[in-house]
Structure 1
Amino acid sequence: MTLEHKIGQLIMPDISTITMEDVEQYRFGMILNGGNSGPGGDDLAAAPLWLDLADAVWEASSAPLGAEEPSIPALWATDAVHGHSNIPGATLFPHNIALGAAGDEDLMVRIGEATAAEIAATGIDWTFAPTIAVARDDRWGRTYESFSEDTDLVARLGAANIIGLQGDPASDSFLDERHVIATAKHFFADGGTNGLDQGDAAGDLDELIAVHGTPYIPAIAAGVQTVMVSFSSINGVKMHGNEPLLKGLLRDQYGFEGLTVGDWNGHGQLPGCTASNCPDALLAGLDVYMVPEDWRDLYDSLLEQARAGTIPMERIDEAVGRMLRLKMAYGLFTKPRPSERAVGGDWDIIGSPQHREIAREAVRKSLVLLENDGVLPIRSSARIVVAGAAADDVVRQSGGWTVTWQGGGELTEDNLPGATSVYDGIAAAMSEGGGEAILASDGTFTGRADAAIVVFGEQPYAEFEGDRADLAFRDEEGLGLLRRFKRAGIPTVAVFLSGRPLWVNRELAEADAFVAAWLPGSEGQGVADVLIGTADGAARHDFTGKLSFGWPSGCLAQSDLLFPLGFGGSYARPPAARNYATQCSALNATQAGRIALFDRGLAQNVTARVSAGAASSDLPRLRGTSASGTFTASGVDLDAQEDARLLSWTGPARLELVLAEGAQLPPNAAIAIEYIAAERPGSSLSLISDSGTLDITDTIELAVGKGRRRATIALACLGNKAPAILGLAADGAAEITIASLAIVPGQATHSCNGPF
């Protein structure tokens, strides 16, 4: 191989930033599709389009080279973290936190097998799964990607899932046509950063290894072929550059012989490095750089450093050798193009009844009964009400990493064909027993009701946007419905959809029964399998789920436990009645400090909406296009994946960020904004509140091409009234990138007249 082609094997770009000409020229070792990338720029693309692109990548990377050098096909990796979750119509299994509650190793093998087959049908070779983080702080936005806070449970379930995805390494099924390459991630201690994504796991190294490193031992024994390195740090040292742990622990002590890959531009976070220039990561033990956008510059810098001897040829050959051994183990050199493989293009595999039945089984095994005052199971001959905005919402019940990276947003049930909502599952079960389930999302119905099931919980999220300052569940929709039904004398069942345990004592106190249903995925009927009994009230399935995380009694970061690890009631052994403390200091505390509206993502309890004339529409997580079509918010990368928003206007529109009701403003409040202006606005652009406006057009024109700018402007510039709304408005064409927007205490650094 030429040096140029060796360097290409060490680079992993995103499909959104490459052409097939690039694939043929640079001979990448592998490519990936990020959470918001899809064929032709369409992250909602149907399965056949993914297979078409897989064929194109195979053909471009297999194009003949000179007679002295063989062609080496590229591998394609995806984040299939709860099923082949980028593909509309795929089976969506419950997220890992739910599978931890199920605690069933055989089930994990079968889930891995089903997921692998669906991935292989689309021609993709590799999944960045499973996550074997041991999450120790539920505020972390990736808690639901962790099986448990218990190291041993994570180790067992992770190894079982790897065997399902790759096949048994001791059998002929290993990496055969129905299996794919798996990845154990993120090495290591990503779950030990005190709730901060990409944070620092600090403490005694031996203890950190015992808690967070141990799951990699059975993962390696199960034959995992690749390990993804964590964004996070260990005692202040970024893992992408941590040679003692990447080599000494992972290689020498654990005996891992496979390929290590980076996370999204994670190498660029090393001191002295950028996304396009970082020899230190390779020297520390990273084999492949995940560099979605800056791959061309990284290629050039690595090539120059190899020629200069900054990176020894021995190290390059070592990393390339690992990539080639992986491809040989996978049989890539003898496989035909993806569409000609055994299951390539077999669309009956995607979302098959057999796979959906496994997912349904996983849902019912994952449900955890926290309380039951004789309400459950419900007779299927009864007449019940099913309420809550989440009751008939397959997008919401599936959580993050569903078709798109963060999930939710503009996704609808049309993007999840074949999925069954919690309500639809309940309605079908009630009908079988001669009863009736009335959908009343807002709680309004007529006639009698023998019971009410209220489905509520978190909105979808993934990392960054999912991090929290505390554990208080603030959305009071479910609480209001429970109180309403209780006042009417109707027995209530709370079904809580969440990616982590949260402080829900108020809801627990109002409900007669409470079920932690996690993020069940596409097969909502699994909830009904356990909650709805026969016509005479006998249970069809009992609760078997046990908490894989302790449940907090308080709402702050550190709390005593209300329900311990391993807790879970059943019909055979009902949970004991208890009293709940319903006061939470985080709910009542005044906001004396910074109030973030947008910071790496839309802040908790801030609503984004766009008004244009008479049209008004919400933009969940500040992403998507307004109903008027004149405003679009897109995720862009500044310091991390999609941690900023590109705001674009093509006509008149007002972006309004609505503060949480009752938010107390800090003294001498000011607006702090961090932004980038790439082009002159074609119309006026203003900061707005519900009491005034401030024209910033001249300021934006002066800021064009000057990179990131920060300004603090007195809130009084927008009027004397304490605002309930802050935002931006344009009369026509305009564009600005927002990195953060907040209300802060202290004096403004810029005048109302600008520039700033």
Structure 2
Amino acid sequence: MNIKAVLVSLSLFVLSESVLSAEPNPSPVEERVQALLAQMTLEEKVGQMTQIDFSVVSVANGQDAENPVDQAKLDDAIFNHHVGSILNTPTTPNNRAQPIEKWRNITQSIRDTAARSRLKIPVIYGIDAIHGATYTQNSVLFPQAISMAATFNPELSFKEGEIVAREVKASGLDWNFSPVMDIGRQPLWPRLWETYGEDVHLAQILGGAFIQGHQGEDMAAADKAPTCLKHYVGYSYPLNGKDRTPAWIGERALREWFLPGFEAGVLAGAPSVMINSAEVDGIPGHANYHYLTEILRGELGFKGFTVSDWEDIIRLHTRDKLAASPREAVKMAVMAGVDMSMVPFNFSFYDLLLDLAKSGEVPLSRIDEAVARILRVKFQTGLFERTEPALPVAGYFATAEAVEVNRQAAREAIVLAKNDNRMLPLSKTASILVTGPTANLLSVMNGGWTITWQGASEELYPKQYPTLLQAIQRKTSGRVTFVGGQRFSDEINIEQAVNEARKHDVVVLALGEKPYTETEGNIDTLALDPVQLQLARAIFEIGKPVVLVTFGGRPRIITEIADKARAVVLGFLPGMEGGAALADILFGDVNPSGKLPISYPRAVNDITPYDHKPIEAYETNQYRPLYPFGHGLSYTRFETSGLSVKPAQIKAGDSVEVSVKVKNTGTRTGKETVLVYLNDIAASVSRPVKQLKAFEKVELQPGEQKTLHFTLTAQAMSFIGLNMRRVVEPGDFKVMVGDESVPFSVLPN
């Protein structure tokens, strides 16, 4: 697939209400769906809407069995309850990566059993492969989404999608619960790192490229697999920052910032959507007819199926107190637009929905609608034609090419935030003290959903990948001393660290967060752990030059120590290759090119995104982050000049052409991302001071100059107007690149 064509299609998308057309003549797939649906009993239909955890069909102690399938339980699930989907690992609740042959045995047993059912409808097996085949041992695990966003490189995201799909399919699995297309604008939220950051356009492009790489032109291809957009919609913006707590999002903000990522995912062809586990404006995601049916279906034109998140239909009764009974919860969710229920530990959804359908409380037409959507995806992804794993292991799993792409992604994901007096690169003969809780762990560079659910089981990580400490030791001939522990929580001897620092030329101080995800990652403050600050203050006290390195999924507040450090490197979650990549940058073997996909806050309560409103930077209010969105230094220098916008006047609906020169004025080859911002100077609804509308990453030799060209369409100039519809209003606009800005005007039609 041509990646440039993919990016053009994603950057030019328009509101689906303007592009939806009448249904075409029935396709061969649609004919097969309807023919199969006509043969199905009510029980078989309700079963297709039921998704169970693997533990329901597993033997006891499934972790220890070569094939942990309990055949009698699987027969019951498929022959008596007709389940449409299974998810997760054989080790719930302590999810754990499995050998690839074990996965192939598991999924083959399920395929063989489904093939013996009356209608031979295949089961679709779903897994959270969010930065690689997470739960398959020795898979290629990429930087997490927040770090992939820092690359500003859609081609790498596209290749990641290709590789993840191949490794999922080689594992015998069918369906990937990824990517997260909600926007990461609440830094306390423990799933921030699963997003592509705070900017709408960046998330659309990076997420869309991942989907296109993962699915290709034909999801039925042996090396492609369907994706699932998460978590529709507004889940990522809880008011208090805690996971699965309420968001308060007005409809205009919802349409301006939170829906566009999902619209881009729909445009890119994602055939499934997982639903918000929490609530927005008092309505839980699983009961929100307006979001699930009127907007997702009616406006965005989504044709695939929706799946609940973990136990969330049950929670409409037990947690949300929206439904008076489990039965009412099932009725509420299905009628709101939920097509498949991640139950997950029993057949209660099946039993309750069957009863509701027989009583007429849930119309058969709604059942048929949901089942047709599920069957359609199963046909589109080739499950009916598949009798064994789609791909062999050799040549498709953990290949040299995949490892190299991952290594490049890690190198481009790391952000050099500060480099006073060219502190970096370090000399390969310098004596270095390495200290801090994140210095000698792989888990801190990978985060949650890595080998285990929380990603914290360091003993399970593959030993061939170096930690930051090990990578530094391999890179230099100088003396390297480590003062730290074997676990994140181990107490570090501060006195010993200070004494050793006095004996070395430089200190690499590695701080940050332990791995986490979901509610396990809830915190009360973005402030760095006091014990880490205590270590840092003691090190700075002796006056040695310090390189501060951070790992973690959120921007923990480092202002005090970043001001004192000679260099600051923000690692976030660069994946398995993160240690080697960061050492490459520290010693100058790689020129850093990462850019921040979020605004890095200066203080715990000073949370302002880059695309803020004018009122947020007026009088005493300021946008004053520690490091702004798009910030990232290099070992060379780049300059942009000659910004041009043509024509200077257009009619509403037309486009403008933007060109700008970028030059490497330094002495090293490097990569630079040119960011194109737009400001609507005056409008009927207050507009952000600037919004990213285009970007391109280029590699330039010393002295080399390129002219880049961008098209800003009417979509880029539009916003959600007074009537909650997307509009382009006549008036003055401003395009900004670097230090330059050029105006243009939109005339009335």
**TM score, norm. by length of structure 2:** 0.70
Q: What is the match of residue 525 of structure 2?
A: 470
Match of 1:381 among 426, 429, 439: 429
Equivalent of 2:343, from 274, 280, 291? 291
The separation in 2 between residues aligned to 1:89 and 1:380, in whole angstroms, is 31
**In terms of mean alpha carbon deviation, does 263-272 or 118-127 score higher?**
263-272
C-alpha distance in structure 2 between counterparts of 1:263 and 1:519, whole Å: 24
Are the equivalent residues in 2 in contact too, given 1:546–1:567 (CA < 8 A)?
yes
Contact 2:437–2:512, Cα closer than 8 Å, also in 1:
no
Amino acid paired to 2:595: K
Quote the Cα distance in structure 2 between the aligned partners of 1:116 and 1:334: 18
Partner of 1:365: 412
**Which of 42, 45, 49 pairs up with 1:6?**
45
Kindly tell me: are residues 49 and 452 of structure 1, through their superposed partners in 2, closer, same or farther at Cα, counting changes over 3 Å?
Answer: same
Larger relative contact order (CA 8 Å, sep ≥ 6): 2
The question of whether the paired residues in 1 share the 8 Å contact of 2:74 and 2:110 is answered with yes
1:451/1:492 contact within 8 Å kept: yes
Which of these residues, 142, 148, 161, is aligned with residue 191 of structure 2?
Answer: 142
TM superposition shift of 1:83: 1.0
CA distance in 1 between counterparts of 2:442 and 2:395 reads 21
- 1:50 aligns with one of 84, 89, 103: 103
Deviations 1:672-705 (A, max 9, x none): xxxxxxxxxxxxxxxxxxxxxxxxxxxxxxxxxx
Aligned to 1:323: 374
Q: Alpha carbons of 1:275 and 1:45: their partners in 2 closer, same or farther (altered >3 Å)?
A: farther
Equivalent pair of 1:483/1:510 in contact (CA under 8 Å)? no
Q: Which whole-Å CA distance do the structure 1 matches of 2:568 and 2:406 have between them? A: 22
Q: Following the alignment from structure 1 to structure 2, what is the Cα–Cα distance between the partners of residues 480 and 100?
A: 32
Whether the 8 Å contact between 1:393 and 1:413 is mirrored in structure 2 is: no
CA contact (8 A) 1:126 1:181 kept: yes
Question: Are positions 1:459 and 2:514 aligned together?
Answer: yes
In the alignment, residue 278 of structure 1 is paired with which amino acid?
Answer: V
Matched, 1:438 2:481: yes
Deviates more, 1:442-451 or 1:301-310: 442-451
Match of 2:278 among 206, 221, 232: 232
Distance in 2 separating the partners of 1:306 and 1:181: 29
Task: Identify the residue that residue 29 of structure 1 maps to in structure 2.
Answer: 84
CA RMSD of aligned residues (A): 2.3
Pairing partner for 2:146 from 87, 97, 107: 97
3-state SS of paired residue (1:215):
helix
Aligned in 2, Cα 1:527/1:136: closer, same or farther, shift over 3 Å?
same
Q: 1:156 & 1:131 partners in 2: Cα distance?
A: 13
State how far apart, in whole Å, the 2-side matches of 1:189 and 1:308 are: 34
1:449 has 2:494 as partner: no
Offset at residue 438 of structure 1 (A): 3.3
Q: 1:453 to 1:350 in 2, by over 3 A?
A: farther
Q: Are 2:51 and 2:340, in contact at CA under 8 Å, matched by a contact in 1?
A: yes
CA distance in 1, matches of 2:281, 2:534: 44
Shift, 1:133, TM fit:
1.3
Work out whether 1:351 is the aligned partner of 2:403.
Answer: no
Report what 2:133 is aligned to: 84
- Establish whether residue 158 from structure 1 lines up as the match of residue 197 from structure 2: no
In structure 2, the partner of 1:280 is 332
- Choose the corresponding residue for 1:222, options 260, 268, 272: 268
The whole-number CA distance in structure 2 between the counterparts of 1:20 and 1:436 is 58
Separation in 1 of the partners of 2:585 and 2:290? Answer: 51
Tell me if structure 1 keeps the 8 A contact 2:501–2:539: no
Quote how far apart the aligned CAs of 1:216 are: 1.5
Kept after mapping to 2: 8 A contact 1:544/1:570? yes
CA drift of 1:34 comes to 6.1
Q: Distance in 1 between matches of 2:232 and 2:135?
A: 24
Q: 2:555 aligns with which of 498, 501, 509?
A: 501
- Return the alpha-carbon distance in structure 2 between the equivalents of residues 473 and 487 of structure 1: 18
* 8 Å CA contact retained: 1:482, 1:510: no
- What amino acid does structure 1 have at the position aligned with 2:188? R
CA-to-aligned-CA distance 1:532-577 (integer Å, 9 cap, x gap): 33xxxxx3322211111111111237465222211222223599xx
1:493 positional shift: 0.7
Q: Residues 302 and 417 from structure 1, CA distance in 2 versus in 1: closer, same or farther, beyond 3 angstroms?
A: farther
Q: Distance in 2 between matches of 1:279 and 1:522?
A: 44
1:522 Cα deviation from its structure 2 partner? 0.9
Count the aligned residue pairs. 549
Q: How does 1:401-412 map to 2 (within 5 A)?
A: 401-408=449-456, 411-412=457-458
Report what 1:262 is aligned to. 308
Decide whether the 8 Å contact of 2:451 with 2:460 is kept in 1. no
Are 2:189 and 2:522, in contact at CA under 8 Å, matched by a contact in 1? yes
SS in 1 for 2:45: helix
Of 246, 250, 253 in structure 2, the residue corresponding to residue 204 of structure 1 is: 250
Q: Aligned pair 1:243/2:289, yes or no?
A: yes
**Equivalent AA in structure 2 for residue 206 of structure 1:** R
Q: CA deviation at 1:204?
A: 2.4
Describe the shift of the 1:136–1:109 C-alpha distance in structure 2 as closer, same or farther (beyond 3 A).
Answer: same
Structure 1 Cα separation of the partners of residues 326 and 138 of structure 2: 35
Aligned-partner Cα distance in 1 for 2:592–2:373:
45
- Evaluate the alpha carbon distance shift between residue 507 and residue 22 of structure 1 in structure 2; reply closer, same or farther with a 3 A threshold: farther
- What corresponds to 1:632 in structure 2? none
Partners in 1 of 2:511 and 2:157 — Cα distance? 27
Counterpart code for 1:285 = G
Q: Which residue of structure 2 lines up, in the alignment, with residue 124 of structure 1? A: 173
Match of 2:582 in 1: 528
Residues of 2 paired with 1:88 and 1:274: CA distance?
A: 41
Q: 1:452 to 1:525 in 2, by over 3 A?
A: same
SS in 1 for 2:143: coil
Deviates more, 1:138-147 or 1:498-507: 498-507
Deviates more, 1:180-189 or 1:226-235: 226-235
Change in Cα spacing, 1:256 to 1:44, as seen in structure 2 (3 Å) is closer
- The residue correspondences of 1:618-657 to structure 2 (distance < 5 A) are none
**79, 102, 106: which one pairs with 2:155?**
106
Correspondence for 1:704: none
Query: Gapped runs of 5+ residues in structure 1?
Result: 534-538, 576-756
Distance change (3 Å), C-alpha of 1:465 and 1:437: same
Higher normalized helix content (fraction of residues):
2
- Structure 1 residue 364 displacement after superposition: 1.5
Amino acid at match of 1:562: L
- Superposed CA deviations along residues 197-224 of structure 1, whole A, max 9, x for unmatched, are 2233324202212110011122111111
Distance 1:273 1:259 in 2: 26
Cα separation, partners in 2 of 1:189 and 1:325, compared to 1, 3 Å: same
Letter of the 1:370 counterpart: A
1:308 aligns with 2:359: yes
User: Are the aligned partners of 2:219 and 2:382 in contact in 1 as well (CA < 8 Å)?
Assistant: no
C-alpha contact (below 8 Å) 2:165/2:224 kept by paired residues = yes
Q: TM-score, normalised by structure 1?
A: 0.69
Distance in structure 1 (CA, Å) of the matches to 2:373 and 2:454: 32
